[in-house]
């Protein structure tokens, strides 16, 4: 098993695989990550997908018949040059199967509708375009090469060390509850289980939502995290006021509202969620 981009999610996937007796290798960008993974018993090699030349990526290890690809796209533009570089670098050493983490952002704004996997993607923000372009590149590559690709469209990831506590401590306001969009989430441990299940049981070419299926209001989310952590709630402002005060990145999230169903992942991948809602997840995050 090879994890390309082995950070917060990848380390948990590696641990699950190791617990199942599988050898795990990884590709990361920084030497600090190599050392951190070594301590977990994962042999990691360095490659920067932003700068590799042709043939610059070390050949895929023999263990790489199954690849988890978790490297995020670059921060700008509408392309995923990193994924393109990796596909190119694979050359003929292609894997048998790839599990790819995409995002639910590919659906764009759905006006708060419930969304299933067969809804046509309609990306709005550039960050969502990069993901959609990456999904399409992978599926075309799959068709041409015969490599099986399974796509997980992942909601907002939370978990130990991944709560917006710094944002809450900053005191920067958030948008009023009645003007805030729906958001969707998944606890990192459930996401790791879904990734492993997708490698084992996902249908080739199939898309699965990775979310807990319990969408909530974005402002409620911040308030619930603040309450659980014993911090003061953030002040609320109107959407009109937010336009001048919040960052363009945050504003782009405020313009998108959708509620994601996860029936396909639960039924086809056979994963039982340890953290089926935010209440259960927050208890776990804050007790560690």
- Tokens read off for 193: 């289980």
Task: Decide whether 38 or 238 has the Cβ nearer to ligand NAP.
Answer: 38
Specify the stretch interacting with ligand NAP by CB under 6 A; choose among 29-37, 57-65, 171-179, 257-265: 29-37
What is the spatial order of strands in the sheet that 66-69 belongs to? 43-46, 25-28, 2-4, 66-69, 97-103, 148-154, 207-210
Exactly one of 48, 109, 117, 277 binds ligand NAP (CB under 6 A); that residue is: 48
Closest C-alpha among 106, 10, 21 to residue 67: 10
With a CB cutoff of 8 Å and minimum separation 6, the contacts of 26 are: 2, 3, 4, 6, 10, 14, 37, 42, 43, 44, 45
Q: Is 10 in the site for ligand NAP (CB under 6 A)?
A: yes
CB atoms within 10 A of CB 201: 12
Specify the stretch interacting with ligand NAP by CB under 6 A; choose among 1-9, 89-97, 116-124, 194-202: 1-9
Asked if 27 and 67 touch (Cβ cutoff 8 Å), the reply is: no
Q: Is 5 in the site for ligand NAP (CB under 6 A)?
A: yes
Q: Is 64 in the site for ligand NAP (CB under 6 A)?
A: no
Task: Decide whether 28 or 168 has the Cβ nearer to ligand NAP.
Answer: 28
- Tokens read off for 199: 């490698």
Q: Between β-strands 148-154 and 207-210, what pairing exists: parallel, antiparallel or unpaired?
A: parallel
Task: Decide whether 20 or 50 has the Cβ nearer to ligand NAP.
Answer: 50
CB atoms within 10 A of CB 261: 17
Q: Is 207 in the site for ligand NAP (CB under 6 A)?
A: no
Q: Is 89 in the site for ligand NAP (CB under 6 A)?
A: no
Specify the stretch interacting with ligand NAP by CB under 6 A; choose among 7-15, 17-25, 169-177, 230-238: 7-15
Q: Is 47 in the site for ligand NAP (CB under 6 A)?
A: yes
- The residues that touch ligand NAP, with contacts defined as CB under 6 A, are 5-10, 28-30, 33, 47-50, 70-72, 82, 101, 103, 154, 156-157
């Amino acid at each position: 098993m090879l994890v390309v981009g082995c950070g917060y999610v990848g380390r948990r996937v590696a641990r699950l695989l190791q617990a199942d007796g599988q050898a795990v290798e990884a590709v990361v960008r920084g030497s600090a990550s190599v050392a951190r993974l070594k301590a977990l018993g994962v042999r990691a090699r360095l490659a920067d997908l932003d700068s590799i030349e042709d043939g610059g990526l070390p050949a895929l290890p023999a263990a790489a018949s199954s690849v988890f690809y978790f490297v995020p796209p670059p921060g700008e533009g509408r392309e995923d040059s990193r994924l393109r570089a990796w596909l190119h670098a694979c050359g003929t050493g292609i894997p048998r199967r790839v599990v790819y983490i995409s995002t639910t952002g590919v659906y764009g704004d759905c006006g708060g509708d419930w969304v299933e996997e067969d809804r046509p993607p309609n990306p709005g923000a550039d960050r969502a375009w990069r993901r959609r372009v990456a999904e399409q590149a992978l599926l075309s590559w799959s068709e041409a090469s015969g490599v099986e690709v399974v796509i997980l469209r992942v909601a907002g990831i939370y978990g130990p060390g991944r709560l917006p506590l710094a944002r809450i401590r900053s005191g920067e306001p958030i948008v009023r509850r009645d003007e805030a969009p729906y958001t969707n989430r998944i606890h990192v441990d459930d996401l790791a289980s879904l990734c492993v299940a997708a490698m084992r049981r996902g249908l080739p070419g199939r898309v699965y939502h990775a979310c807990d299926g319990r969408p909530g209001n974005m402002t409620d989310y911040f308030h619930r995290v603040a309450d659980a952590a014993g911090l003061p709630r953030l002040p609320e402002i109107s959407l009109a006021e937010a336009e001048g005060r919040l960052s363009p990145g945050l504003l782009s999230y405020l313009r998108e509202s959708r509620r994601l169903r996860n029936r396909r992942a639960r039924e086809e991948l056979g994963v039982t969620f340890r953290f089926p809602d935010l209440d259960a997840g927050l208890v776990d995050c804050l007790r560690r």
